[in-house]
Structure 1
Amino acid sequence: MPSIAAAALLHAMPPQDCAPNLLHNPGFEQGLQGWRGAGAGPDSVAHGGAASLRYHNPDDARYRTFSQTIAAQPGQTIAFGAWLKGRGLQGPPQDRGASVYIQSFDAQGRFLEGRYPAGIVGDSDWRPISARYRVPQRAARVTLGLYLRRGTTGTAWFDDVYACALPPQATLYPANGRTLIETPQPQWVTVSSVLLDRQRKVIDQTKRRRYIADRQWLTYTPPLLPPGEYRLRQQVTEAATGRRRSSEIALDIGQPTPAVTIDGQGFTRRHGERLFPLGIYSTRDGDDDLARIAAAGFNSVLNYRYGLGKDADGFFRRSRRHGLQVIYAIKDLYAGSRFAPATRGSYAALAATQINRLKNQPNLLAWYINDELGLEFLPQIAARHQQVQRLDRHHPTFQVLNKTAALDDYYNSTDILATDPYPVGSEPHLRRTLHDTLQTVRAARGVKGAWMVIQIMDHAAYDSRRQARAPTEDEVRAQAWLALIGGARGLLFYSYNDLFYQQQRGRFERAAFAAQWRGIARVARQIRSFSPYLLTGDGVTLQLDGPAAARIFVRGDSALLLAANPEARTVTLSLTLPDGWHHQTERTLAMSLPPFGAIHLPLQR
């Protein structure tokens, strides 16, 4: 089951079981040797051995970390942790305490991703803090650190720190009665399957031993059963090591096709017809705003602040009036999450109330169950996914991640995966959009939905210290083209409401907004016009020399060529079309693409 698998994923690893430990001087027996940072020192109060690291911070404006680089490789899973003891640790309610972290950087020294498990607060005896981290493919440097979070004061002791690379193991990825088994090397595995009814009674069970060289799809064939909703619980066990992974999915037998589903190529189907979700995030939901969104070419809207005490039915009615599908957010209903509403009951009960109340809305497209929550929330996310499957089999779950390295870990807890690179203003190029799309599509394995979030917001909306830098129309278009070239089956623009952020600062210019929106609308309408080609599932990504990317989308005897330049400089696009295809009689194309340039060309056989 995802919840069990996730719990195992997050289980603490004792330092003595971590071999080899990638850290130098993990117990501070040699003082601070091997560690970077100032303001802390060794102490005789220890969890193990004779020493620890002690850091006292009386100033909430002071922020220091103590770290070292570890020899981790891209793709590795790192188990890391430490023992912590605290006295008088106080700070901001949402982000305080002492903890351990791990983070990675690319070859240019730019931050990629990190993992920051919750730590200790107040007065605490020795406690273990642990987590796991998948190293991104683009990582060139990985560091582990100890710290008091920003704004935290008090005293903390750190000891028996560890970081070790976990050996890869066999994994299973189920989908509608078929299960993909992937192994890190050729080996024998045992795959067990248990079919449960709605009362969790065992109806059928099988066990099969297979030799798998790399990856193999297995099909589970249930016995003759009455129509109904069942659960398929599966486990893959390595013969050589005994290590195992588990999953659990809904399995419908003889049931009507869900109103909205993800088909065998990862496309969204609504009432049996393929739909390319072209949506936008917005907390503004008045008729004027929804009319503007619909007129721009969008077919879906995601309001991520709807919830308790709000007129959700009215939001659905207004959206429906403008022809918009709704991706409804229940992403905050998790204990310990930053935006979790106060409740005397359980978050599962709150979620059930909303699901049961809204599941019959005719323009409900999907349930938004996770917005960038880390692996520490995975057991709750997996449970929410299963809850939606039980209560509303007609609509898929959808979640957005900002860490592509962990995508595989979320596979069993969602129907649709997406990532949100937000490169504009953070990087001098748009390469991350294509990279993250390819990683998302790979993780979806052709059976989950793979969507992408396109940045239209200015990072200054979230950090007043940053200079205003909204994405240009060319940058928005290039992001979208790169996502489509990478294989995205849906796009969501983030976010409409952030286009108005200067209103709160008294610097909003209506004319500037109108110009920006016209550019966004031009991009959205172009994408919508591509739908007949995007929805066929027939196409090929072209192999090019240089940074530009291109893909052909085929529809019968015609095709659409998309090409995009992710660089802030002019590049030359040179390509030869596959046999039988041409553009205006030409099969070989050569042209210059300006900075962040994106083109679309019709092709014929």
Structure 2
Amino acid sequence: MKFTLVFCGIVSAVLLSAAPDLRGYKVLDAAGTAGRNVLRNPAFDEGAEGKEWSLGKEAEISVAHGRNQRGLGLRRTDPGVYSINTQKLRLKPNTKYIAGVWIRNEGFDPALKDCWLGTFGIEWYQGKRNLISSYVKSTGNADWKLYTLEFTTGKDPALEYVMVLFIGKGRTGTASFDDAFVREAGPQWLPAVLSPHTLHLDASGARMEIGSVILGEFSYPQTAKPHLECVAVLQGEDSGFRTERSGLLRENRIAFDFGKIPEGNYHLELILADTANKVILSARTGLRFQALSSGTQAARKVQIDAFGRMLVNGKPFLPVGLFVGGVNEEDLRNWSHSPFNFVMPYGGAALKWPGEFEKDRDSENLLRALDKLQAAGIRFGCNLLTSYPHFTHPGKSRWDGREIGIDPRVDKIADVIKNHPATLFYYICDELPASRNREIEERRIQLSRRDPDHPALAVYFQYPDLAFYSNAQDIAGLIFYPVANRDSRSMELILHNMEAARAILEKSNGTMSLWAVGQAFNWGCYEKDRKRYEMLYRYPTEHEYIAMALLPAIYGVRGWLFYSYHELRYVPGSMDETEKKIEFCREWPKVCAMGKVLRELEPFLLSLQKAPEVGVETLRGKVKARAFADDSGKQLRVLVTGIGPGASEAVLAVPGSPGLKSRFGKTENLGGGKYRFKGTDICCDILYGKVE
């Protein structure tokens, strides 16, 4: 018989059994199961007007725009004109797809680099609300070239997807499109090493927790009911040590105990096998670890503990920081008098203190700047986002006046900063597509071995693809900036990100190594037209800032990085310098008020003390709530958020705490440990008091 196995979730097990003998097992060729093209009329050959497509006013279907026969052409001579061309799609939930189209560009300004010429993308919708969009820009004036995009659909089968084809705003020229496609990528197994959070094993007792996601369908002949096991093979890189463990895949996680192992470097291979039918369905290689002694582990300057918390010199630390551009006296004064305790300069290792810069003295320039940060009580995240081949960054392979290559430069940077007390983490990825995940993993491995004292953070807006990134960092950061314009009234985007993280990254102890990359800017700061800026855009209110920070806390994030001080202070948009300063003086205190709330919650967010479960009876909208106790177990904080849009209302039950008070006045004490929360749009409250 032939059966189709369909898995759309997370698999589990706990395991001590010996691994099965896989010799003689058939290896499934999953690549051969890729799906058909789900686009209708993908080559624009059906019907003179582009049947199945919704075409914009610039579109024309013609042989002149096709690779073989007809294609779609977009010809623009007026930079003020803009239109899009779309096709709606119904796709399977929780499935990886590959989308692509051939594009030819002609007549665009040859000086334009990395701009929106002929472009395609996939947009997600829940009803009429756009949830997320991913786009691929074509490159320069060039003959036909294939551009592709990989993405993973959400779990909700009601979600709609749209393929869009267009020329970016303000560009003039002609873009031709042909032979578009959207097809399933075939089944994929995506195991994630959830513990340890860094690439370091305890040699005295090496343990791992694995999360496992299967996307799509494995289809193969079966003579028995499938019996899926995960086999883990841990092999020493520099020794003959090898050990294997296996676990039965059940509900959501797999735990392996390898026992005592020699110190040194290791490869880990994970294999998914159907032992009943003797078929290897998939394997994951390229996972590498370093086994350290217990003493060496404990002595690491900055580490991530078993609960996802950052430890600095052995003590729990709550990171609340800012993206920044560079540093000067004004900035440092602002930061040192704020609740923020670290910065992540976009200049990264090129950071320098004004007036003290010396050409070709990168190491000295950086250390002088770090000394200034340290003296002000501000820690440093080292930005390495340009350390990948595709970035056209002039200094990405140069250090201290010498051209040495990208990877050696990263090593040099690590050598310079790893012993500086201001150093907190490395920032190794900023929104790279999921197809680049192995490159990010290699950078993580490189830094882990060069500097085991500092973790690597990578951040993404592509939350549906989180499973592909799950082995690419020590700390995952999810990006969400929900207040996009004056009509923004919901933080559903944060909710979707947090639910994805919980499904992929949460360990069996209910924690994860996750940071929130939150909003601290106005999307209109990039708008040059003053009328459009004032008509279309707005800053979040102080209350919205706080609510957008508290919702991730409810889901258990362990740090916050806000975008961006640089945009707040320096990106002028439609303003002159004086107007920008006035705006900054108005908005900066609101951002600081939000940071202050988080820092005040520090004893609760870092505590491992068990807090009562909060019952939530939702009456209107969506409401999320969670209680946190301090280390004494006597003080309690209950965080409550209304997601929006519109009214939110819920009755909360907090066992053993009948006398809690409302910080923002949105919650009424009903007596007997029950409370009524009411709010509108993006809203929140904090209940505070004693456990009685």
For 1:380-420, what per-residue CA distance to the aligned partner results, in whole angstroms no more than 9, with x for missing partners? 32221111112111100012211211222111110111122
Contact 2:457 2:473 in 1 (8 A): yes
Please name the residue that 2:430 is paired with. Answer: 371
1:56-455 aligned within 5 A: 57=75, 59=77, 61=79, 63-84=82-103, 92-98=112-118, 100-108=120-128, 110-117=129-136, 119-124=138-143, 127-136=145-154, 140-150=159-169, 157-166=176-185, 168-174=187-193, 175-176=195-196, 177-182=207-212, 184=214, 187-197=227-237, 201=238, 203-208=240-245, 210-221=247-258, 224-225=261-262, 227-228=263-264, 230-239=265-274, 240=279, 242-254=281-293, 256-257=296-297, 258-308=300-350, 310=352, 311-337=365-391, 341=395, 343=397, 346-426=405-485, 427-446=488-507, 448-455=512-519
Q: CA deviation at 1:120?
A: 5.0
Contact 1:170 1:236 in 2 (8 A): no
For 1:481-502, what per-residue CA distance to the aligned partner results, in whole angstroms no more than 9, with x for missing partners? 2221122111123222322247
Are 2:78 and 1:19 aligned?
Answer: no
**Matched residue type, 2:542:** E
Question: Counterparts of 1:441 and 1:21 in 2: how far apart (Å)?
Answer: 32
Contact 1:400 1:419 in 2 (8 A): yes
For 1:271-316, what per-residue CA distance to the aligned partner results, in whole angstroms no more than 9, with x for missing partners? 2211111112222523443233233222222222233373322221
Contact 2:35 2:185 in 1 (8 A): no
Q: CA deviation at 1:247?
A: 4.5
Contact 2:114 2:139 in 1 (8 A): no
Contact 2:211 2:505 in 1 (8 A): no
Contact 2:190 2:467 in 1 (8 A): no
TM-score by length of 2: 0.76
Question: Counterparts of 2:404 and 2:428 in 1: how far apart (Å)?
Answer: 19
Q: CA deviation at 1:97?
A: 4.9
- Match among 597, 618, 624 for residue 549 of structure 1: 624
Question: Counterparts of 1:88 and 1:543 in 2: how far apart (Å)?
Answer: 59
Contact 1:551 1:562 in 2 (8 A): yes
Please name the residue that 1:10 is paired with. Answer: none
Q: CA deviation at 1:95?
A: 2.0
CA 1:282–1:237 in 2, change beyond 3 Å: closer, same or farther?
same
Q: CA deviation at 1:168?
A: 4.7
- Match among 622, 641, 654 for residue 564 of structure 1: 641
Q: CA deviation at 1:355?
A: 1.6
Contact 1:331 1:371 in 2 (8 A): yes
Contact 2:302 2:313 in 1 (8 A): yes
Question: Counterparts of 2:209 and 2:519 in 1: how far apart (Å)?
Answer: 34
Contact 1:59 1:153 in 2 (8 A): yes
Are 2:555 and 1:486 aligned?
Answer: yes
Contact 2:116 2:171 in 1 (8 A): yes
Contact 1:280 1:494 in 2 (8 A): yes
**Matched residue type, 1:563:** V
Q: CA deviation at 1:335?
A: 2.1
Secondary structure at the aligned position of 1:316 is classed as: helix
Question: Counterparts of 2:119 and 2:544 in 1: how far apart (Å)?
Answer: 38
Contact 1:189 1:237 in 2 (8 A): yes
CA 1:189–1:568 in 2, change beyond 3 Å: closer, same or farther?
closer
Question: Counterparts of 2:644 and 2:105 in 1: how far apart (Å)?
Answer: 48
Q: CA deviation at 1:586?
A: 4.1
Q: CA deviation at 1:341?
A: 4.3
Question: Counterparts of 1:542 and 1:326 in 2: how far apart (Å)?
Answer: 40
Tell me which moved more, 544-553 or 495-504: 495-504
Tell me which moved more, 290-299 or 395-404: 290-299
Question: Counterparts of 1:512 and 1:159 in 2: how far apart (Å)?
Answer: 47
5+ unaligned residues in a row in structure 2: which ranges?
1-29, 197-206, 218-225, 353-364, 398-402, 661-670
Contact 1:70 1:142 in 2 (8 A): yes
CA 1:183–1:425 in 2, change beyond 3 Å: closer, same or farther?
closer
Please name the residue that 1:499 is paired with. Answer: 568
Please name the residue that 1:530 is paired with. Answer: 601
Question: Counterparts of 1:309 and 1:588 in 2: how far apart (Å)?
Answer: 52
Q: CA deviation at 1:103?
A: 1.9
Amino-acid identity (%): 20
RMSD of aligned C-alpha atoms? 3.2
Secondary structure at the aligned position of 2:579 is classed as: coil
CA 1:71–1:232 in 2, change beyond 3 Å: closer, same or farther?
same
Question: Counterparts of 1:381 and 1:372 in 2: how far apart (Å)?
Answer: 11
Question: Counterparts of 1:451 and 1:363 in 2: how far apart (Å)?
Answer: 19
Secondary structure at the aligned position of 1:265 is classed as: coil
Are 2:688 and 1:601 aligned?
Answer: yes
Secondary structure at the aligned position of 2:407 is classed as: helix
CA 1:70–1:569 in 2, change beyond 3 Å: closer, same or farther?
closer
